[in-house]
Structures are given as C-alpha cells and as structure tokens.
Chains A and B, each alone.
Chain A
Amino acid sequence: MTIQTAAQTTRPGVRSSRDAARMRRGIPWGSIGTYVLLAAITFFCLAPFYWMFVTSLKGSNEIFDNSLWPINPTLDNYAAVFGAQNTFVFALRNSAIIASCVTVIALFFGVTAAYAIARLEFRGKNVVLGLFLATSMFPGVAILTPLFQLFADLGWINTYQAMIIPDISFALPLGVYILVSFFRAMPWELEAAALVDGCTRGQAFRRIILPLAVPGVFTTAILVFISAWNEFMIANAMSQTPAAQPVTVAIAQFTGISQYDKPYGTQMAAGVIVTIPLIIIVLIFQRRIVSGLTAGGVK
C-alpha cells in the first residue's frame, strides 16, 4: 500500500464524482434506483419528524386532528417551551456544556485507550476489552441509587460533573470499540515510515493515523454527543435546580393545563427545538472537520 492510496481513501468527494461519472453510461438504471432508495429513506427518516413539526405548529383545538398540515399555524407551543422565565435557554446551555465536555473527554480517553488496544501489545488486553463491553450490560437503573448516594456524599448534586462523569462512562465502551475497529483498519505502514523519519510515536499518531481515522472519530463524536444530549435518567436524579438541568429534564417538566394533560404540542415543539440545531451543528462540523483534518493529514 502506498501513501497515494491513503490520500484517496480519505477523500470521499473525489471518489464520488468519479463514481458518478462512471455510472452515467447508457440508461442510468443504477441512478434511478438510487434516487428511489433515496426517496424511501428520506421518507422513512423524516415523515415522523415532519409529523412532529406539524403537531408543534397546531393550536390546542386542532392538535388531535390528523390533518397533514396545520390549518391555523401558531407558535404558541414554542412560546410555551421557553415559558415566562425562559428557563429553557438555561437548559439548552447546560445541555450544550455537558454534551461538549462529555464528547471531548470521552473522545480523548477513548482514542488513547483504543490506540493502546489496537496497536500495543500488553497482557490482559482481552480482559480490558471484555470489561468495557460488560459495563454496557447492566440495566442503567441499577447504578442510579448507589451513584446518587456517592455523589450526594461528595456534594456533587446540582453540578455538571455529576452528569458529565456518568455520561462519559456510558459513552466510553461504544467509543472504544468503534475506534479500535477503525484503528485496526489503518495502514500502519505509514506510522512505521514516519517513525523511521524520526517522528516520535505520538507525532506519528497525531499526524498520520488520527487524520486517517477521522470518519471513525467523527462518527464516534456524533454518537457520543447525541447520547449525552439525550440522557435523562442520571440527569433527572443529579440536577435539582434549573441552573443545572439539561433539556431532557426541562422537557419532562412541561405540563398541560392540568397535571393530567400531557403537553403533547409543547413536547413536540421542544423536540424540534433540540433536534434542529443538533443537525445543523453536525452538518457544519462534518464538512469542516473532514475536509480540514484530511487536508492536514496528507499534506
């Protein structure tokens, strides 16, 4: 394998346009099929979300109608999400801080651990891998009570770390497994070559291997960020004041006009509010990180 190959593998854009060019020979059945599949997948993913969006725009009178678009669209539900005290803004801030910290720290720990597992030889490697997996096998609620007691003793209730640390531990097993599988698939000859050229192992890793593993690292980051953003059980126990509560806990506090009414419209509006920025951020970062890092890597 040559350096050339490595450069190309990380440029999906280049490959794609060539692919496309090749496919345009004769009647493009392949393309037609692809577009049909594209439509089907987009429908599958977005139709329920569309329904969520439509519901969030309906007033209380028509919210249980099944009309496919709002007849009298209203932003009442969105106003209700932010409420009089605007505490949802704090919740968004808290969620952003918690999920970012979790992503950064979990990725850092995950990358180092995955590198060791993928590249270094040490005793007990399989035990470590097995342990990582085993920590994802207990029902989450089983750890809630002991963990709450521990954090209460430490005085950590209502602090970010009481949510960040558990979230990191939920994210690590998956993160390590994904990263190990990506690191194993890397062309390590490049690392060897860099070592010969006088790079330290750390430099070789950062400059050569990490950029090549970007699709894996980035995917891990998305998965970790979203799961931290959506975590509810631990956050509900650990955050008691609006100053510390993330969005999932704030959404659980929404009510209808009575304690017996589920605030369907408000919840749907909140769902839209927390989902859309997430998608936008991911799309922006996807472009930036992929192009930025790979450009750096193959320079």
Chain B
Amino acid sequence: MSISPRVLNRRRSRTGTGRAKDGGLAFWLVIPSVAVLTLVIAFPVISSIIRSLFGDGIGEVPFVGLDNYAQALWGYNADDFWASTGVTYLFTAVTIVLETLIGLGMALVANRAFRGRGLIRASVLVPWAVPTAVAAVLWKWAFDPQGIINSLLGTDIIWTGSSVPSMIAIIVADTWKTAPFVALLVLAGLQVIPEEVYEAAKIDGASAWKRFVFITLPLVKPALLVAVLFRMLDALRMYDLPEIMTNGANGTATLSVLVVQSTLSQLKPGYGGALSTLTFLLIFVTAYLFVRLLGVNAVEQAGGRKGKKQ
C-alpha cells in the first residue's frame, strides 16, 4: 500500500482568466479578517514597539534607542530574562510533547466505534471548557502541601515551594487543560479521512500499527501540525498558570510573566515593550523553524496530499 502524494497542483490546470478574477475576489474575501487584525493587533503592537525605544519614568520620556533591549539581553536584567526564556522553552517543549501524545491518543480512541463514544467526546471537552483562572485555582489547591494530590499519593511534597516540583505542577495542570485542544483538532481531521483508504489497506494486509503510521498519521498531519503550531504559540506565551500557582516564584516566571510584571505591575511600558518585542521575535523564529523543518508548509501541501486510491 502506498499513498503517493499528488504533486500536481490542480490550480495549475485552471485557465488564465480564472486566475485574474481570483485576485479581486480573494482581496474582498481576505480583507475583513486583515482589517480586524490590523485594528486590534497590528496597531497596538506597532505602538508598543515604538514605545520600547523610549525610556520609562514619570512625565516626558527620553528616546533611548535600543537601551531597553540591551538591559534585557545583557544588562542588569539579563539573568532574569534568560532564565525566563529557558523555563518558557522548557514548559513549551515538555507540554507540547505530552499534549500531542495524549491528544492524539484521545482523538484516536474517540474516533473508534464503541458504545460510550459520546461520553468520551464530552469528557475530552471538559478540561478545555473550564475557565483557565478557575482551573489554575483548582490545581493550586490540589498541589497544596495539604492538598488532594499529596493525600492520594501518600506523599508530603511541598509542590509549590521549590523549583522542580513547581514546574511539574504547572506542566501537569497545563497538560490537563490543553491536551483536549489537540484532541479536538485531530479528531476533526480524522473524520474526513475516507473509509476506503482503510479498506484498501486492510485488504493489503497492513497491520494496525502500519495503518496508523502510513495512513492515519499522514492524513491527520495537517490538522495535527496546526494544533501543535498554535499550542506552541500559546505555550510560549503561557501566563495564567505560573502566575496563579506560584506567582512566578521558584524559577517559573515565564516571559509573559516578566512582560506583565514590567508593563502592568511596574508601569514600565518602555522596558515591557522591549520584552514583548523580544518575546515576539523568539516566537517568530521558533514558529518559522517549526514550519520550515517539520511542516514544510503543511497547509500548502495538504491539498495535494489527500489520500486516494491511485
């Protein structure tokens, strides 16, 4: 059994006149989204980037060029900045691996036929539907030294009192909360796989594992990659869980916690703007590498790679 990606792009076979019309239509279809994003995101982001070139203080603020960036990267706050960068990436890497595996597993099970499938689809939604702030409070008390987790495990760990246990607590909470996100997207991807593909594979005698690796995985890849990509963007901006569970203590202050500390708490929009921009650049580079290395424009190729009996 082989599923050869269909390299030929159907678009190429279309007529030239169709293509010319496309441009105008596409403009009108895309422009509402672009307009909303410009108003709500692009305008504030640009003003925040400009603000990052100015100093902080009361009254007129001086132009300081890249001083705020220097302060974060190698100046007085460099230790904090790099420690935050490290822990942000650590959280991201661990939670994404866990959430992808668990989410994929959930989706595969939920997509199989058996009684109780409605139950599992509803259960999978629950963690994602609980408001983040409420979930964080739930986990904060669950991980209390006198809390339910220690009581169930029969341990005496002071979860939020030192570095590694704090990180474990945050990772557990995040995985619980967002593995369903991956599951939902993958499940939707699974639902559009034509049954014929499996039929053919079974006739060819492919084992369940082979069917998973050679059929299911390539076919859900677009949905999975979108899920992982957006999980990555969100995980790299993680804020609520460390803020509520540890107040950013024990080395759990993520980049977003630092941004909030300087922008809102300490009213340093210049330095905070610089931190935001640095966070943006880190995420941009990470996402770019991800798309290049793993995705290879997953979205771009998905159309051509649809499984078919050849």
Interface residues of A (CB under 8 A from B): 1, 5, 8-10, 12, 15-20, 23, 30-31, 34-35, 37-38, 41-42, 44-46, 48-49, 51-52, 55, 64, 66, 109-110, 112-113, 115-118, 120-123, 125, 128-129, 131-147, 150, 165-166, 168-169, 172-174, 176-178, 180-182, 184-185, 187-188, 212-213, 215-216, 218-219, 222-223, 226, 229-230, 232, 247-248, 251-252, 262, 264, 267-268, 270-271, 274-275, 278-279, 282-283, 286
B133 with A48: CB separation less than 8 A: no
B25 pairs with A45, CB closer than 8 A = no
CB contact between A283 and one of B118, B184, B230 (< 8 Å): that residue: B118
A interface SS class: helix
Least distance between B136 CB and chain A CB atoms (Å): 10
The answer to whether A135 and B42 touch (CB under 8 A), given A41-B124, A215-B191, is: yes
Chain B contacts for A18, CB-based, 8 A: 113, 195
Query: What is the CA–CA distance of A131 and B33 in the complex, to the nearest angstrom?
Result: 11
7 A-B pairs besides A9-B192, A145-B48 with CB distance below 8 A are A45-B176, A66-B147, A66-B152, A116-B26, A121-B11, A145-B44, A169-B36
Task: Determine how close the nearest CB of chain A comes to the CB of B139; give it in whole angstroms.
Answer: 8
Identify the B interface with A (CB < 8 A).
Answer: 10-11, 19, 22-23, 25-27, 29-30, 32-34, 36-37, 39-45, 47-48, 102, 105-106, 109-114, 116-135, 137-139, 141-142, 146-148, 151-152, 176, 179-181, 184-185, 187-189, 191-196, 208, 222-223, 225-226, 229-230, 233-234, 236-237, 239, 255-256, 259-260, 263-264, 269, 272-273, 275-276, 279-280, 283-284, 287, 298-299, 302-303, 306, 308
For the complex formed, measure the closest distance between the CB of A119 and the CB atoms of chain B, giving whole angstroms: 8
Q: Decide if A268 touches B40 in the complex (CB within 8 Å).
A: no
Tell me whether B25 and A120 are in contact (CB under 8 A).
yes
In the assembly, what is the distance between CA of A42 and CA of B124, in Å? 7
Q: What CA separation (Å) do A262 and B236 show in the bound complex?
A: 28
Check A143 against B44 for contact (C-beta < 8 Å): yes
- List 9 contacting pairs A-B, 8 Å CB cutoff, sorted by A: A16-B112, A37-B109, A41-B123, A48-B176, A118-B303, A144-B264, A168-B36, A216-B188, A219-B188
* Assembly CA distance A135 to B39 (angstroms): 11
Instruction: Judge whether A267 and B134 touch: CB under 8 Å.
Output: yes
Closest Cβ of chain A: how far from B270's Cβ, in Å? Answer: 12
Closest chain-B Cβ to A91's Cβ sits at a distance in Å of 12
| Chain B residues, CB < 8 A from A232 | 131-133
- Check B33–A109 contact: CB distance below 8 A: yes
In the complex, the answer to whether A271 meets B29 with C-beta atoms within 8 Å is: no
The answer to whether B40 and A166 have CB atoms under 8 Å apart is yes
**A129: nearest chain-B partner, CB-CB:** B299
Q: Given the known inter-chain contacts A131-B34, A230-B132, A282-B125, please indicate yes or no for A41 contacting B276, CB distance below 8 A.
A: no
Chain A residues contacting B27 (CB-CB under 8 Å) are: 122
From B19, B40, B222, B264, A141 is in contact (CB under 8 Å) with B264
* A135-B37, A169-B37 known; A45 vs B133 contact (CB < 8 Å): no
Check B44–A146 contact: CB distance below 8 A: yes
- Tell me, rounded to whole Å, the shortest Cβ–Cβ distance linking A52 to chain B: 5
**Complexed CA–CA distance, A59 and B111 (Å):** 40
A116 partner residues in chain B, CB cutoff 8 A? 25-26, 29-30
Partner of A279, one of B43, B126, B176, B185: B126
Given the complex of chains A and B, what is the CA–CA distance between A134 and B285 in angstroms? Answer: 11
CB-based contact B194/A178 at 8 Å? no
Contact A216 B192, beta carbon cutoff 8 Å: yes
In the complex, the answer to whether B36 meets A182 with C-beta atoms within 8 Å is no
B109 touches A178 (CB 8 A): no
Known: A20-B113, A137-B280, A279-B129. A219 touches B187 (CB 8 A): yes
CB <8 Å contact, A46 and B123: yes
Contact A122 B22 (CB under 8 A): yes
State whether A137 touches B284 (Cβ < 8 A). Answer: yes
Query: Do B106 and A41 touch across chains, with their CB atoms under 8 A apart?
Result: yes
Q: Which residues of B contact A37 (CB under 8 A)?
A: 105, 109
A188, closest chain B residue (CB): B10
Given A38-B120, A219-B185, also A230-B34 (CB < 8 A): no
A45 partner residues in chain B, CB cutoff 8 A? 123-124, 126-127, 176, 180
* B286 CB, nearest partner CB in chain A, Å: 9
